Structures are given as structure tokens and as C-alpha cells.
């Protein structure tokens, strides 16, 4: 495990080192995706997610993180989700279940914690992270995010079928600074970049597939380009999330209190390092050292 953590830490700062060295026939318009998602949010509906995120340097994958589970939407933007994630670094992996029930606490389960938990305790809680949904650099369940994306869409074509649903695909490119105004997942990253020197403003290439009849997102693929140069190389964060089961009734509640122990009571800090990519995939990037 110590080797895994060492490789994970190296992966999070590796992009800094590299950078420093450095049409198909259109369909009829579907229902408005923004309005369609707003309706689901108002009903506090659930949606299943299947997400894969990769950090790449010069096209080589250094870290892969996956999350599968369910999210319950909330008009007040409180977070309700129950997902199982896995981080893979250098052929080693760590599995982690993350649950949040609308409060400040995140509840965790992982084989990494098995030997540290006292008898009768099956969950670890922490309030040290604002969110552990940081893998989703662009949140396709947030109407404000969708509105900004679609306002700058460059094309709309047939997206084929996804899970048996005929889709329409929108495509575009957007500066991180613009999307950060409505995307909590990108705000800290954008703030860090404002103090960086010698780096061009990063941008996101995106493609959104929505149901041809209901307008609901079925897939969102994004490519966050932190650095891209034909001679020097590239640093990117690629995210691909599939949405299914819109309207699913979901009840996400906190585990029984007598089964929970606070993260601060554990002696090892290993789990906190593993949580970093889930909390903030960009943490560890010393952006102010990136040269022109």
C-alpha cells in the first residue's frame, strides 16, 4: 500500500514536471435539456452514474479513477450520493465506497480501512472535504452548467443510440474560467490558475448526448486541456460519464451512528491520500511553476 500511495502522489505532481519541461444528419431538436434536468431536480429524482476519469501526460495514462453508483438530485444543491470508486495507479488499485446524505459528513468504506476499524465499526466519517465528487469536472446533472455549455455549442448531430435511446449530440469548447462561474468543481482550479505564469488559459472540449425525446443527458465526455503543445507535449484530464435511470426513486441515509467512527480517530493517514483525486483531481499541481 505504501508503494501505491507513493505512486499516487507522484502521479498528482507529474503533470507539473512535464509542463515545466516545457458530420451526420441532424435530428429534430429534442426537449430543452436544461428544462428537462430542472424538472428532475425539482422532483428530487435519482440518476445512476458510471464514470471513468483519466489523467494523461503526452497521451500516456498515469491515473485512472472510476465511480459507479446513484445520485439523488436536490433543489438546494445539497449532495446525496452513494458511489463505489476505484483508483488505479501503476497496475495497483484501491476500492472505496463513498456515501453522502445531504449533510457535511462523508461516509467511507474501503478494504484499506479494514485493519484499523474497531469492532462494531463499519464506516468512517469525515467533514474535511467540501465534496468528493471532484472527478466530475463538468456536472451534467446541474442545469446551470448545462445552460452555459449549450449556449456555446458548435454543432448538433445524431448521437446514435445509448442504452436503446435515440440521442442527439451537442459538441463545443469552453474556457475553464467561464464554466467555473457556475461549476463548483472547477472554482478552486480556476482560482489557482489565475496566479500562474507562463500558461495559456485552459479549456474544455466537450460532447453531450441527450435523449431525442426527453432531452435528458445520457453521456457527457469532456477533455480538460491543462497544457497542449505539439513540441513539448500535453497534460489532460479526460472524463466520461454515463447517465441512466433518470427518475429513479432513491433514498440515501446516513449509516447508524453506532457503526461510524470519525476519520480523525484513526492512526493512519493513508485513506486521506487516496481521497485526494475524489476531492480535487488537480490538487498537487504546482501551477505557478509551469513555464512558457
Cα 255 to Cα 11, 33, 82, 99, 199, distances in angstroms: 33, 34, 12, 9, 45
Please provide the distance, in angstroms rounded to a whole number, between the alpha carbons at the two ends of the chain. Answer: 36
**Predicted local confidence at residue 92, as pLDDT:** 84
**Predicted local confidence at residue 246, as pLDDT:** 97
- pTM, two decimal places: 0.83
* Domain range summary for the chain, segments of one domain joined by +: 2-284
Report the C-alpha gap between 79 and 73 in whole angstroms: 7
Sequence-distant (6+) residues with CB within 8 A of 57 are 14, 15, 18, 233, 234, 235
Q: Which set of grid coordinates corresponds to residue 122?
A: 463499519
**Predicted local confidence at residue 24, as pLDDT:** 39
**Predicted local confidence at residue 118, as pLDDT:** 92
**Predicted local confidence at residue 30, as pLDDT:** 55
**Predicted local confidence at residue 270, as pLDDT:** 63
| Chosen CATH of 2-284 out of 2.50.20.20, 1.10.1200.10, 3.40.1280.10, 3.40.50.720 | 2.50.20.20
**If you write DSSP's letter for every residue of 94-134 in order, what string do you get?**
EEEEEEEESSS-EEEE-GGGTTTSPTT--EEEE-S-S-S-T
Give per-residue pLDDT as tens, 67-104.
Answer: 999 999 999 989 999 999 898 888 788 899 999 999 99
Q: Which set of grid coordinates corresponds to residue 40?
A: 428532475
**Predicted local confidence at residue 200, as pLDDT:** 80
Q: Are strands 123-126 and 106-109 parallel, antiparallel or unpaired?
A: antiparallel
**Predicted local confidence at residue 289, as pLDDT:** 42
pLDDT less than 70: residues of the chain:
1-30, 133-135, 192, 195-198, 267-292
Q: Residue 198 region, left (φ>0) first, then alpha (ψ -120 to 50), else beta? A: left
**Predicted local confidence at residue 283, as pLDDT:** 54
Sequence-distant (6+) residues with CB within 8 A of 97 are 82, 83, 84, 85, 108, 109, 110
Amino acid at each position: 500500500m505504501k508503494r501505491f500511495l507513493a505512486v499516487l502522489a507522484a502521479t498528482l505532481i507529474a503533470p507539473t514536471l512535464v509542463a515545466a519541461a516545457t458530420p451526420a444528419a441532424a435530428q429534430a431538436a429534442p426537449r430543452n435539456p436544461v428544462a428537462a434536468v430542472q424538472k428532475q431536480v425539482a422532483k428530487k429524482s435519482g440518476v445512476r452514474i458510471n464514470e471513468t476519469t483519466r489523467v494523461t501526460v503526452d497521451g500516456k495514462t498515469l491515473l485512472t479513477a472510476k465511480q459507479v453508483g446513484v445520485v439523488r438530485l436536490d433543489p438546494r444543491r445539497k449532495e446525496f450520493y452513494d458511489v463505489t470508486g476505484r483508483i488505479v495507479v501503476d497496475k495497483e488499485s484501491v476500492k472505496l465506497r463513498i456515501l453522502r446524505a445531504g449533510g457535511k459528513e462523508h461516509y467511507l468504506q474501503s478494504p484499506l480501512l479494514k485493519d484499523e476499524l474497531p469492532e462494531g465499526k463499519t464506516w468512517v466519517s469525515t467533514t474535511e472535504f467540501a465534496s468528493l465528487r471532484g472527478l466530475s469536472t463538468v456536472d451534467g446533472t446541474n442545469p446551470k452548467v448545462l445552460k452555459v455549455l449549450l449556449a456555446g455549442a458548435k454543432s448538433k448531430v445524431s448521437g446514435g443510440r445509448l442504452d436503446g435511446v435515440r440521442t442527439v449530440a451537442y459538441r463545443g469548447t469552453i474556457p475553464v474560467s467561464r464554466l467555473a462561474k457556475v461549476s463548483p468543481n472547477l472554482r478552486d482550479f480556476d482560482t489557482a490558475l489565475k496566479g500562474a505564469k507562463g500558461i495559456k488559459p485552459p479549456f474544455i472540449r466537450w460532447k453531450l448526448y441527450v435523449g431525442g425525446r426527453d432531452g435528458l443527458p445520457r453521456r457527457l465526455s469532456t477533455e480538460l486541456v491543462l497544457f497542449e503543445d505539439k513540441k513539448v507535449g500535453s497534460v489532460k484530464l479526460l472524463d466520461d460519464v454515463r447517465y441512466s435511470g433518470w427518475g429513479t426513486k432513491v433514498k440515501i441515509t446516513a449509516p447508524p451512528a453506532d457503526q461510524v467512527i470519525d476519520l480523525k480517530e484513526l492512526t493512519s493517514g493513508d485513506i486521506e491520500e487516496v481521497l485526494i483525486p475524489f476531492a480535487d483531481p488537480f490538487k498537487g499541481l504546482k501551477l505557478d511553476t509551469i513555464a512558457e
